[in-house]
Amino acid sequence: MVVLAIMFVLTPILDALRLLDAIRLKKPRAAVVTEKMQCKSYLKVIAYLWGRAVLVVIMCLIGGISLADIGFRPMAFNHNIWFTVITLVIGGLAFVYFIYELMASLASINFKEQIKEQYANDSQGDLSMLPRTGKEKRLYSLIAVSSAICEETVYRGFLLFLLLELFPGIPIFLIFSITFVTFGVAHLYKGMKGIIEAGLMAIVFMGLLIVTDSLIFVMLLHFIVNFSSTFMLSEEQGAGVAA
């Protein structure tokens, strides 16, 4: 358990450093990020996500921790009724919001000319990582799936199990505080606004894991959050900004 705890403490730091490729892609705004460069960056992210998650799972199995222990089990609602209702309402609203974002981006009703200005002034480099071509969008979709499975396995399922094992009876506000800090640190590359947004989302995800006793719904919501950005840029918009 001590080894696993040390491994987890290092995880957010490694995640923060992981996107050095993204920082490199924050090149002078006039430079062009080619499809090959973008796809290479996506593949590195996918490899990292699965490599880290597989390592954590292997360490758990060696330590006698099953997949069910870290959240791979059917949903069950056994928590306090008020906490359950409030958390499910918040999670449901988040689900609806990101479904809307996905539908809006698919219909191109929210993201037209204004996205070019946002893209050009993107100080954190987030928009420069959005996919433009069909190949990029397919790989970005794999990132959405990989991130949902791998990050929830590590940052929710494994973290919750670790905290409950090391600190039986730990108050729920401490669980939320720790998941906020760790997931926020993992998103340092996004700046303070991104850190806070990631931390708040982590609290929602952790709450859903606690009330459903499963990673199923949490992974689904995480996937929708990430996948909703896949169609934000058309190939023409991306090319127009990079040119």
Q: Per-residue DSSP letters for 133-183? A: SHHHHHHHHHHHHHHHHHHHIIIIIIHHHHHHHHSTT--HHHHHHHHHHHH
Full domain range(s) for residue 157:
2-242
Single-letter amino acid, residue 122:
D
Residue range 111-128, pLDDT digits in tens: 444 554 555 455 445 566
Handedness of CA 226, 231, 233, 239 (dihedral sign): positive
When mean pLDDT is compared over 26-35, 125-134, 199-208, the highest value belongs to: 199-208
Q: Work out how many domains the chain is built from and give that number.
A: 1
Q: Smallest Cα–Cα separation from 145: which of 56, 53, 67?
A: 53
Task: Give pTM, 2 decimals.
Answer: 0.83
What is the predicted pLDDT for the residue at 128? 65
Q: Smallest Cα–Cα separation from 222: which of 238, 206, 241?
A: 206
Does residue 70 carry a pLDDT above 80? Answer: yes
Averaged pLDDT, 154-177 = 92
